[in-house]
Chains A and B, each alone.
Chain A
Amino acid sequence: MRNRVFKAIFLIFLFLLPSLIFAQEGMEEAEQDTLAPPDTIAEILSPTEIKAFDTPNDAGENITITWEAPEDPYGIIVGYEIFRSEDKETGYEITGFAGKKTEEFKNRTNDGVVYYYKVRAKTSDGKFSPFSVISEGTVSQPQWFHTGRINALVAVVTFISLLLFFVSTAKKGKSLFIRKIAGLDALDEAVGRATEMGKPILYVPGLSSMSDVATIASINILGPVAKKVAEYESTIIVPNRDPIVMTVTRQVVKESFLEAGRPDAFNEDMVFFLTDSQFGFAAAVDGIMVREKPATNLFLGMFWAESLILAETGNMTGAIQIAGTDAVAQLPFFVTACDYTIIGEELYAASAYLSRTPVLVGSLKAQDMGKAMLIVVVFAMLIFAIVNTVFLLTTDTPNAILSRIIEFIQGWFKV
């Protein structure tokens, strides 16, 4: 009984201790807050080190202004007013306001015009510090080359070189192996099933626009699928959310029917635009699924929150479902509600896998080579980190060369 009482007191004390500490800190802060600031603004100095320069790596029409904040022991500065003029001596007008923790401001400008800037601090009681000195005259202009993206350029050039190498290898007739991808092998089965049942195939090319890689990948898959549909004399329904995607998908389906030697079987109404409203589209596709009862549903492309609504309704209708997307947040829903799921990178590999054309197979090989290079980099970095830590533990200082290499590699991947 006594032990319990002690335990209870100890527990209460344990819970109360942090609150007591925080309360103590809060009181100290409150005491600091209550220190009244002097009744004069003279103690707030003007911002210093003002610099204005053309914002680098942009499309022009922008100047960056930086300054050093003055001492603010009483915390009364609420922000900074930035003034601008085209004449160094006169005509300064306020052009922007920056928060108290800011020492940088980006100002929209007209290219080719010389601008001068000065800054002053504003206090909580509406007073101002003296103005800073006037900045040098600055002109904004666009840059042709984004120096921050040299890494992307190197990566793209490397990737394209690999691509050209593998494409030429494939064109020379050397067979390039691609491993089995279950979800893609099931496409044939799914189309065949729909044909046997005399029901249509629903193909949703995602909800994104043509700028999305997943949409482009989906359209690449639509070609072979539509060709099989034409060969099996089945029907395909392709609802679209984006009008431009619709135009592309219609052309792809039309050409696939033509390639299969069945241009007469193509009907323009197979590919149609529904609505660009996300959930309006989802509601309409749900309606199609329960009314047309397609035997196979293919959801390939970019999907968002509607993924589960679509996949679950398709599951309810008993259709065989194959889904594929590179949207990581939506993949779990497809995994749970669909028969086969094509995960991320597999979607990009699909067109090469299905068509086996040298260009696409070559691109897939180049992607693999890229992944292999990444694995090597990650592995090498791990070893560097371990060795560097060993140095740190044994000599109390990290190895300078290794640290530099690590920093260089980390910096290279900076976006």
Chain B
Amino acid sequence: MKERKGLIIGSVILIIIFIGMLIKGEPSKNIMVWIAAILTLSIYSFLYRDNIFYKFAEHLFVGVSVGYSVSVVYQNAFIRRVFDPLFITRTYIVEGQFHILPFLAVVIPTLIGLLMVSVFTKRQAWLIRIPIAFVVGSYAGMSISPSFQANIFEQTRSTLHIALSISSFIMIFGVITTLVYFFFSKEHKGFLGRTANVGIWFIMIAFGASFGYTVMARISLLIGRMNFLLYDWLGVIK
């Protein structure tokens, strides 16, 4: 009862503020801006609790994005990589001669991809393992070298530029203790445990810095949205 009362009072205050802004400002005459603003407010309404406006915006967002991505995949994957090379540009026919390799380069991936559809049949559903094995295996294999380069070499190279300065010592101390924390083969007891504890401190300090940095970036996003609502939509900010 108390909550409902608060809700009504809050809503009335918000409506009064909104009407005030409409009178005082120069509201946009663009219908798209109004739609965007209403959808923004609908999403923000989740801050109070789940409600019909949020549900509407959420389902609209999901529906529109799925529809959009289906059309993008159809155009970029099916038409451009399968239909066009097979039936329009015919990449496998060069100077009137049929070439088997370019033909297979289109047909084999297409057939492997089509095996994904086997999941809809009961007896042949096992066939889906073939494309899955192909995808997981190839992606895992492809990511080995970049992972080594980006996550190990690049980091190590930067660490190894050692200068005899306090910051350099702190960095090396931090790197070694943090690596010790991620050592799983030994129980974190005694010297190893103390070193790992120092590592955790370094990790948490880094997280704290990262947290603050990212929060600042998020605040700029919020400012951007507020700017849209108050400048583009209501025209309160000049």
Q: A residues within 8 A CB of B55? A: 287
Select one of A179, A279, A336, A377 contacting B156, CB under 8 A. A377
A386, B164: Cβ atoms closer than 8 Å:
yes
C-alpha gap A109/B208 in the complex (Å): 49
Query: Among B12-20, B78-86, B179-187, which stretch is in contact with chain A?
Result: B179-187
B147 proximal to A (CB < 8 A)? yes
B167 proximal to A (CB < 8 A)? no
Q: B residues within 8 A CB of A274? A: 62
Q: How far is the CB of A180 from chain B (nearest CB, A)?
A: 8
A378, B176: Cβ atoms closer than 8 Å:
yes
Select one of B143, B157, B187 contacting A413, CB under 8 A. B157
C-alpha gap A370/B184 in the complex (Å): 12
Q: How far is the CB of B126 from chain A (nearest CB, A)?
A: 10
Q: How far is the CB of B188 from chain A (nearest CB, A)?
A: 6
B201 proximal to A (CB < 8 A)? no
Quick one: given A211-B142, A277-B62, A279-B61, are A181 and B157 in contact (CB under 8 Å)? no
C-alpha gap A379/B58 in the complex (Å): 52
Select one of B157, B184, B186 contacting A414, CB under 8 A. B157
Render B37-69 as a binary contact track against A, CB cut-off 8 A, 1 for contact. 000000100100110001101100110111011
Identify which of residues 199-237 in chain B touch chain A, using a CB-to-CB cut-off of 8 Å.
Answer: 203-204, 206-208, 210-211, 214, 218
A378, B156: Cβ atoms closer than 8 Å:
yes
B185, A415: Cβ atoms closer than 8 Å:
no
A63 proximal to B (CB < 8 A)? no
Q: How far is the CB of B186 from chain A (nearest CB, A)?
A: 7
| Tier of interface size on chain A | 35 or more
C-alpha gap A244/B112 in the complex (Å): 13
C-alpha gap A176/B185 in the complex (Å): 8
Query: Among A132-140, A186-194, A338-346, which stretch is in contact with chain B?
Result: A338-346
Q: B residues within 8 A CB of A210? A: 135-136, 139
A331, B176: Cβ atoms closer than 8 Å:
no
Q: B residues within 8 A CB of A287? A: 50, 54-55, 58
A368, B58: Cβ atoms closer than 8 Å:
no
B132, A149: Cβ atoms closer than 8 Å:
no
C-alpha gap A362/B203 in the complex (Å): 26
B172 proximal to A (CB < 8 A)? yes
C-alpha gap A201/B35 in the complex (Å): 36
Q: A residues within 8 A CB of B154? A: 413, 415
B22 proximal to A (CB < 8 A)? no
Residue of A nearest to B154 (CB): A415
C-alpha gap A284/B143 in the complex (Å): 30
A177 proximal to B (CB < 8 A)? yes
B128, A247: Cβ atoms closer than 8 Å:
yes
Select one of B150, B159, B187 contacting A378, CB under 8 A. B159
Identify which of residues 160-188 in chain B touch chain A, using a CB-to-CB cut-off of 8 Å.
Answer: 160-164, 172, 175-176, 179-180, 182-188
Quick one: given A213-B147, A332-B208, A415-B149, are A346 and B182 in contact (CB under 8 Å)? yes
A415, B176: Cβ atoms closer than 8 Å:
no
B1 proximal to A (CB < 8 A)? no
Q: How far is the CB of A251 from chain B (nearest CB, A)?
A: 6
Select one of A179, A283, A386 contacting B186, CB under 8 A. A179
Identify which of residues 136-159 in chain B touch chain A, using a CB-to-CB cut-off of 8 Å.
Answer: 136, 139-140, 142-145, 147-150, 152-154, 156-157, 159
B175, A378: Cβ atoms closer than 8 Å:
yes
Render A103-134 as a binary contact track against B, CB cut-off 8 A, 1 for contact. 00000000000000000000000000000000
C-alpha gap A335/B211 in the complex (Å): 10
Task: Name which of B43, B147, B207 has the most chain A CB atoms within 10 A of its CB.
Answer: B207
B176, A379: Cβ atoms closer than 8 Å:
yes
Given contacts A156-B145, A331-B210, A378-B172, 10 further A-B pairs with CB under 8 A are A178-B184, A216-B140, A279-B61, A281-B62, A284-B62, A287-B55, A344-B182, A409-B160, A413-B156, A415-B153
Interfacial residues, chain B to chain A (CB-CB below 8 A): 43, 46, 49-50, 54-55, 57-58, 61-62, 64-66, 68-69, 116, 119, 128-129, 131-132, 135-136, 139-140, 142-145, 147-150, 152-154, 156-157, 159-164, 172, 175-176, 179-180, 182-188, 203-204, 206-208, 210-211, 214, 218
